[in-house]
A and B are shown apart, each in its own frame.
Chain A
Amino acid sequence: MNQDLLAALVPALPLAGAIILASLRRKLSANAAGGLATALIVGAFAASVLLFLGFDAAQGGRTVKLLDWVRLAGMDIPLALRIDALSLTMMFIVTGVGALIHLYSIGYMHADERAATFFAQLNLFTFAMLLLVMGSNFLVTFIGWEGVGLCSYLLIGFWYRTPEYNYAARKAFVMNRIGDVGMVLAMVLLFQRFGTLEYDAIMDRASGVNDPLMVAATLFLFLGATGKSAQIPLFTWLPDAMAGPTPVSALIHAATMVTAGIFLTVRSSALFELAPFTQDIILWVGTATALLAASIGLFQNDIKKVLAYSTVSQLGYMFVALGLGSYSAAMFHVTTHAFFKALLFLGAGSVIHALGGEQDIRRMGGLKAPVRTTYITFLIGTIAIAGLPLMSGFFSKDLIMAFAFQRSPVLFALLLAGALMTAFYMFRLLFLVFHGSYRGKAHPHESPLTMTVPLMVLSVLSVAGGLLNLPHLFGGHEAMKHFLETAAEGIRYESLELSAMTEIVLMALTTVLVGVVIYIAHGRFAVKATLEGDEAAMPFLKRLVARRWRVDELYRALFERPFGWLSTNLHAIAENRVVAPLVRGVGDAALRVGETVRGLQTGNAGFHLLAMLCGLILLLTFTLMGG
């Protein structure tokens, strides 16, 4: 089949699904809607596969122009798609993991009366995400960028009757928008500098440019990335976003949308390579986010919140990789993370489903037996994220840590601390949910097949995902890296020059420490289930961490409240006391002048005649004088 047509088909299928489902949302049953939505995503996946098969990496990417879009006075930005290694990789993740999550949703949402709407929005999200990764220029990517933001808003606030959910949805959208400011600034800057927004053209023209503008552009891009990928300072929306249905959390807030920032950075890696300053910023922001989020994850009691902070933390790792200039490692981790984090979220969803909506891990426990499939898959996911050897997470995270060690041992130590915390809270979660004895009241039951099949597929991927980019050390040849090299220029510059011995030592060290941490966690949570008590009773530091470093409160005090104050007072003072009186003043002045002058209209004919005479005399006098 025609490759161009195929490329267009990939985003077109989900879009068609969204439109059909939205218009027929009242007529379709939940299962029919879910089936249609899933089928379309599978179709998109199949199209991606076909594209991949017809794709020759050696030839580089191809651009498929769909439509003229913004064309004015020398600006010519078409609606065009770009098919290359990077977009193909992302397309696989989006459609592949997406299809599984759609399938899962059929079971998860079957009882919801607005299931069709849900699938419409999920399809719309997939469409937007595909545009994001397939766009051949920044502006098309920005369509997807904003589109996924909107869908994220819609899906977080899917259960719109609860005001807190709506607030969380708005928070997510607004924070993303703050990032978008950076994104747009970067785009206008790049456009002015290069006269185009096409990726390939910009990357070509950028090579060798030494320009402080590049630092600005990359910083703006990174600001956009922090919004979408929940990095400091714009990360607080992601935990709140867990208000949405769990499949949404899995698809949007774990596997795909939140990795958009990483994707964008890899996409424009050639620019970032020109701005070492930005790379350092990214590195440290990523590190700080990874540690901060991991520390918060230690004390969370909501099953989804733990996973959310874990996501933020893992995204931090990816940014560390980007900051280190190892774009392939970042993409590798994006891929494996998509597998195991989606798995974990779906597993959590299965648990929540089994317990009829319960999310607090203090009221779980001992679920190993009732939900056996879920338990096993969740366990695999946990092991993967903890980075135990030979799991996918092990390879990807290890690659990042190796790059970090190459930069500085201190960085490595920090990341190691993060990894240990990750292992700790993940196993705490696992043990508290599945081990020990049941502490809740509902009657747990295993989820239907539509939900467990995706879990099983994802657990296989979580285990085997590492094969995609198997390092030389284990007999692989870094397939993913070489594949991506054709698309992302920056990958060509990365090099890992550690000796095999060093790598092995580092791996061993990590593994041993993780093992120790797991053992401790087992003792604390599996054997006797230590629950977090009242926050007020905690020691200061722990309370601070448990309350998420009070970042939300800080933002509220720093931004939300002053903004509300500003809004109120601008209206009360500037508007009502200054601007409105200006208008009123003009009106009143006109009235007052009229009021004064009307006294002249006495109605007395003699007086008016006199006035006329005076006027006549004056007029004559003036003409005489002047003439």
Chain B
Amino acid sequence: MIAALLLLIPFVGALALLLLRPAQARPIALAATLASLAVVLYAWATFTGGAITHLDLAWADAWGLRLTMGHDGVGLLLLLLTGVVFPFIVAAGYGQPEDRPATFNALLLFTQSFLYGVFLAQNAVLFYIFYELTLIPVFLLLLYWGGEHRRSITMRFFIYTLLGGLALLFGIVYLLVQNGGNGDFAALAAMDLPAGTQQWLFWALFLAFAIKLPIFPFHGWQPETYHMAPLQGTMVLGAVMLKMGLYGVYRLVLPVVPAGTAYWQDTVIVLALIGAVYGGVIAFRQSDLKRLVAYSSLSHVGLLCAGLFAGNAYGIGGSLYQAFAHAILVLCMFYIVGAVQERTGTTDLRAMGGLKNAAPRLAALYLLVVVNAVALPLTQSFVGEWLMFAGLWQVKGWYAFLGLTTIVLGAIYVFYAYQQVMLGPGRDGPAAADASMRDHLVLVPLIAITLLLGVWPGPVLDLVDGPVLQLLSGLTAP
């Protein structure tokens, strides 16, 4: 029931928008996302732990494919994330001039529906189908509403991610064949593949996620795409789409090819951490705010991925927790970018400065976001990062050290950007408007979530606790 509702509410909303093409598309889209959020919250309120199956229908039984949908704590966390994030993404569109708002919001809703599907699927093939489906609305969003060079960049992004998707498809098909056609996650996790097979199968499965996340050096599509994409498209990409990669690793890589993961663990962690440092270093000298945020996201994601591959409770738990925090952070950051761009008409840092004189409230909101961005304690990011560092330390000490350099780098570029945008003497020209009602309505709840979950992370950590321990016990068992 819940699964069906989650899939259908946004989907039907999107269809309604496409068919009726109402003049006021946003309120309808917002209502749909809020309705689905209510469903997710209900699912959370009634969740008592363990794994829940909502739906189990025969589909193509000849191949052993079943329409299995459900979630455990981690799945619920990501459903929550999807539910929480989308109302804000839709709301972020208010007041922004756009053509064809009905189609635009319909595409957003389609994305949400498919994302729910990704996080609900309990079958590898079903997962794959939703995983690739999400690409279609996002592709259209980028292609029609993107900025400069949108065609070539979108095509590149599309082809690149599809390439990873192909590898994933191959891996899943191989698993299906090996497993007698049973593609349920639980059944796949119970497989015991020979170590040699796992070593190459790991990359077949992981490549798609590595590109989606992205980790170094597969991130080439990201900065340009983030820079070019419409604001809301970037939010979707950065806040949720990327988490599909993490979730995929958690669901399909760690439990299915444990020996392969162990074999490549160090490689992936090192790559991810290199990416984290690399993104942090590059971000500092970016002259464009959007690119700076894009590289900072690369840096954060590197850490997330490293934490996940630490392969212990703190690393995995922290990474999953941080996935949520990062989504909220990305929303805030890009919203701020949009708000700043709206006021200054540019995203070029060199052309900015002193916005605080005209917009002190916006500056204060930005500052609160910055606090989360540098993972100060009592914000959500800190809990996740602390857990990840603890996890990384248990693997190798210098992994934790390498990861920790990002907190220095983060402080450097985040505060640099803040200073370039907000501080300094005021600029000549028409006074920019201070933060509006809309800005407050979007940012204040997000910041409140950040602080609340920073002080009291228990509810979310409890979601992660059980599944992660179960995963680990499955890994250590012979």
- The yes or no answer to B190 lying at the interface (CB within 8 A) is no
* B464 contacts A161, C-beta separation under 8 Å: no
Chain B positions within 8 Å of A520 at CB level: none
Tell whether, in the assembled complex, residue A157 and residue B423 are in contact, meaning their CB atoms are under 8 Å apart.
yes
* Structural contact, B468 and A73, CB atoms closer than 8 A: yes
Measured between C-beta atoms, what is the minimum distance from B440 to chain A in Å?
12
Asked whether, in the complex, the Cβ of B407 is within 8 Å of the Cβ of A189, the reply is: no
**A580 to B464 Cα, complex, angstroms:** 36
Q: B219 an interface residue at 8 Å Cβ cutoff?
A: yes
Give the shortest distance, in Å, between B53 (CB) and chain A (any CB).
25
CB distance from B405 to the nearest CB of A (A): 7
B interface, over-half SS: helix
Of the candidate stretches A41-49, A204-212, A391-399, A584-592, the one touching chain B is A584-592
Cross-chain contact of A173 among B404, B411, B426 (Cβ < 8 A): B411
Verify if A153 is at the interface (C-beta below 8 Å from B): yes
Q: Does B160 contact A (CB under 8 A)?
A: yes
Asked whether B404 lies within 8 Å of A586 as measured between CB atoms, the reply is no
Stretch at the interface among B171-179, B230-238, B412-420: B412-420
Give the distance in Å from the alpha carbon of A581 to the alpha carbon of B224 in the complex.
Answer: 12
Chain A residues with CB under 8 A of B160? 583, 586-587
Closest-CB distance, A423 to chain B (whole angstroms) = 38
Report B387-409 residues with CB < 8 Å from chain A CB: 387, 389-390, 393-394, 397, 400-401, 404-405, 407-408
Q: State whether B285 touches A567 (Cβ < 8 A).
A: yes
Q: Select A184's contact among B286, B318, B386, B419, beta carbons within 8 Å.
A: B386
A79 nearest CB neighbor, chain B only: B455
Contact between A160 and B356, CB atoms less than 8 A apart: yes
Mark contacts of A566-584 with chain B using CB atoms, 8 A cut-off: 1 yes-contact digit, 0 otherwise: 1110110011001111111
A606 within 8 A of B: no
> Given A147-B376, A177-B411, A178-B408, are A192 and B390 also a contact pair (CB < 8 Å)?
yes
Most central of A145, A163, A567, A578 by chain B CB within 10 Å = A567
Query: Taking each of A157, A180, A564, A590, which has the highest tally of chain B beta carbons within 10 Å of its own beta carbon?
Result: A590
Residues from 413 to 440 in B contacting A, C-beta threshold 8 Å: 415-416, 419, 422-426
Asked whether any CB of chain A lies closer than 8 Å to the CB of B49, the reply is no
A75 within 8 A of B: yes
Task: Say whether B458 faces chain A, with CB atoms less than 8 Å apart.
Answer: yes
Q: Which residue of A lies closest to B317 (CB)?
A: A72
Q: Does B209 contact A (CB under 8 A)?
A: no
A308 within 8 A of B: no
CB distance A160 to B423 under 8 Å?
yes
> C-beta contact mask, B367-394 vs A, less than 8 Å → 1, else 0?
1000100101110001100110110011
**Is residue A545 within 8 Å, beta carbon to beta carbon, of the partner chain?**
no
Q: Is the CB of B313 within 8 A of A74?
A: yes
For residue A221, CB closer than 8 A to chain B, the reply is: no
A587 touches B281 (CB 8 A): no
Residue among B163, B455, B462 making CB contact with A67, cutoff 8 Å? B455
**From B220, B408, B411, B423, contact of A582 by CB (8 A):** B220
Count of chain A residues with Cβ under 8 Å from any Cβ of B?
60
Residues of A within 8 A of B223 (CB): 575
Could you tell me the distance between the alpha carbons of A189 and B404 in the complex, rounded to whole angstroms? 13
Contact (Cβ within 8 A) B411 A161: no
Considering only residues 300-323 of chain A, those with a C-beta below 8 Å from chain B are none
Instruction: Give per-residue flags for B262-300: 1 if the beta carbon is below 8 A from chain A beta carbons, else 0.
Output: 000000000000000010011111100000000000000
**A166 in the interface (beta carbon within 8 A):** yes
- Kindly state whether residue B155 has any CB partner on chain A within 8 Å: yes
Shortest CB–CB separation between residue B275 and chain A, in angstroms?
Answer: 10
A120 → chain B, closest Cβ, in Å? 10
Contacts of A73 in B (CB 8 A): 313-314, 317, 465, 468-469
Flag if B404 contacts A70 (CB, 8 Å). Answer: no
A584 touching B156 in the complex, CB below 8 Å, given contacts A79-B455, A567-B282: yes
Is B64 engaged at the interface, CB distance under 8 Å to the other chain? no
Does any Cβ of A come within 8 Å of B93's Cβ?
no
Q: How far is the CA of A79 from the CA of B454 in the complex (A)?
A: 11
A contact residues around B411 at 8 Å (CB):
170, 173-174, 177
Q: Which 8 A-B pairs have the closest CB atoms?
A: A73-B313, A583-B220, A567-B285, A143-B377, A188-B393, A160-B423, A587-B156, A579-B220
List 24 A-B residue pairs with CB atoms under 8 Å apart, sorted by A's residue number: A69-B456, A69-B457, A71-B462, A72-B464, A73-B317, A73-B469, A147-B377, A160-B424, A166-B419, A177-B407, A180-B408, A181-B401, A181-B404, A184-B400, A185-B397, A191-B390, A567-B281, A567-B284, A579-B216, A579-B217, A583-B160, A583-B220, A586-B156, A590-B159
Chain A residues in contact with chain B, CB under 8 A? Answer: 22, 67-75, 79, 139, 142-143, 145-147, 150, 153-154, 157, 160-163, 166-167, 169-170, 173-174, 177-178, 180-181, 184-185, 188-189, 191-192, 563-564, 566-568, 570-571, 574-575, 578-584, 586-587, 590
Additional pairs, 4, CB under 8 Å, beyond known A68-B458, A587-B159: A139-B386, A153-B415, A163-B425, A581-B220
